[in-house]
Chains A and B, each alone.
Chain A
Amino acid sequence: MSEVDMAVIKPEMMKSYIWLQTADGSIQQVEQEVAMFCPMICHEVIQKGMGSSKNYAISLPQRVNPAMLSLILDYCRFHQVPGRSNKERKSFDEKFIRMDTKRLCELTSAADSLQLKPLVDLTSRALARIIEGKSPEEIREIFHLPDDLTEEEKLEPLKNTTDDPRIRLLNRLYAKKRKELKERQKLKNIEVEEERVDDRSVDDLLSFINGDNGDSKGIKNSKSKKKNRRRKDQQKNTSANEAIKNHNKEPNGLNQVCRSAEVGQKVRAGVGATSNLHDVGDDIFDNKNELDDVDIDDEIDPALKEKIDREVEDFARRLNSDWPERMQEILSFGHERKPVHFSLNGNGSLRRYANSEQR
């Protein structure tokens, strides 16, 4: 049905009003050019011929209550005028979004349901500015969010592929804490907690059955992948940690352990209290060294080899003493490795004759 047809069949369309009905049943009429600024209303008018009279009022989505509709129409009324300068529009926008957070959220929702993208962008930016830089507790308060992640989920291990011994220690402490929490849950015998534990093993089973395919869809998969990696990391951790212990004799090594002990203290002290969540979130951001590509293909040997190779390079940089002997010492604490040959370059730097790729 073209607009011309509608004009002939329904002379009411010549009047410049569109009828809208909100979910609470109330109906109002709005100037046509204002209402048509909303893509959703535009669609209803043009494609379905609605809105021409009270009986054919356009039913607005539930998220648009009368108060929000009023705000949205104010926005449309201003912006649909073609002649305004960018400066004017920006100035209007800045004043327009001065409202409390709750209304901003409702407005975003309403604008989204009417497909009014410019307004969605405007309100979203305002909400982003409110969230930026705030601690999780502050954000929870502003948006009335439940703190429904378990201590376990918050203590997700930090991924650690550059073998920073501090992170390794942190992960061990997290693992220990998770274990303690699991014990506590078993003792308390809370049904809900146990169910959650069961869910986890189902996830594990599923990922095992599916062969842990690299399905990048959804978070559940990445979560179970993380669990698998967690287990692998723990395996690697034990072998690598022995190497660390033997290098504690070095003054550099000692410093590392001291620092990780401090970090460990911080975790132990703060883990019970949620006030440390800010730090955990930041810990994860600061230390989020990412995974081996190899993990996705589930090959353990090359990953272990690479991990040990990297550890070797790391120590090579830090320790200035007898290189060849130190290398052999480190290597003898891993397992399932091909022999790696070392020699010194003319300028004293270490050269490795292995077929691993250059970093």
Chain B
Amino acid sequence: MEITKVLPDDCISLIISLTSPRDACRLALLSHAFNSIADSNAVWQMFLPLDYIHIISNSSSPPSLLSLPKKDLYFSLCYHPILTHNGDMKFQLEKENGKKWYMVGARALSIQWVDTPRHWTWISLPDCRFCRVAKLKNVGRLEIKGKVKLSTLSSNTNYAAYFVFKLVRDRYGFRHTPVELEVSIEGAAAGEVRSVILDPPRNMPQQAKERADGWLEIEMGEFLNGFEDDRTVEFSLREEHDDQPKRGLIVQGIELRPKHNR
């Protein structure tokens, strides 16, 4: 029994679409018949998020992106993030499973005093997809907040929020004073508050991790996005207890990615 003689193509498409993108790539190398089915739009459309057309249409990407074969579009969204929401958010797909990643750029965050040039300034950096990132010149109290509607994200997925930042050489205020990170869903019980030091001295463990794009990130917290949840998730970074001046922090944004707990 050869499967392609028993099953019609659209049954095979359905089966492949129920596996994973990685499996679909492998299946494309099995035989001629599988090659055309496993690479087909019918299959790869199922790996893209349900609202992919809406997302791309409302992004800064050229509409020609939508006329790509779906497999190419899938990988384009994995490797080349697009800017959405007027350039304030960055969107991409997680390659293994097509889950959505969103980064809320600094422009879309509520940063206290950000529009006062004495405290914060907006700069442009070449290694960053966003037009502008926020650079801290001097502030006593630090408060950075953001929120995202859960319906924007992939459903039935456990997400984590990461604060993405850099520290310039000329910085102070983050070495010994911890900042407080919190993630919570509005209306639900308050989330866990984490106290972390962004810029620990060399002999202390560094909690922030270096990213592929050269920035640092630190996990703020986790939350579960259920099914058809129309609530909002909120994140905050605060340093309020100490009126010690702070300087030299560059904020790219807060990134939301699925977290797979093993």
Contacts and interface: CB of A to CB of B under 8 A. Distances in A.
A219 B126 contact: no
A234 to B, nearest CB: 19
A131 B23 CA distance: 8
Contact of A281 (B4, B29, B75): B29
B32 to A, nearest CB: 5
Interface string B230-243: 00000000000000
Interface in A5-39: none
Interface string A250-278: 00000000000000000000000000011
A334 B67 CA distance: 30
B29 A277 contact: yes
A179 interface: no
Contacts of A159: 75
A339 B1 CA distance: 62
B81 to A, nearest CB: 9
A145 B32 CA distance: 10
A313 to B, nearest CB: 7
A67 interface: no
Interface in B189-225: 214
Interface residues of B, number: 54
Contacts of B67: 214, 216, 296
Interface stretch (B8-16, B103-111, B254-262): B8-16
A222 B2 contact: no
A296 B62 CA distance: 12
Nearest to A280: B29
B29 to A, nearest CB: 5
Contacts of A352: 126
A66 B103 CA distance: 56
B6 A106 contact: yes
Interface in B71-118: 72, 75-76, 78-80, 95
A131 B19 CA distance: 7
A176 interface: no
A112 B35 contact: no
Given A131-B16, A136-B29, 20 more contacts: A109-B6, A128-B19, A131-B23, A132-B19, A139-B30, A140-B31, A145-B30, A146-B2, A280-B29, A281-B26, A282-B26, A285-B22, A285-B26, A288-B75, A290-B78, A293-B65, A296-B68, A350-B126, A351-B126, A359-B126
Interface of A: 102, 105-106, 108-109, 112, 120-121, 124-125, 127-128, 131-133, 135-136, 139-140, 143-149, 153-154, 159, 161-162, 214, 216, 219, 222, 277-278, 280-282, 284-285, 288-291, 293, 296-297, 313, 316-317, 347, 349-352, 358-359
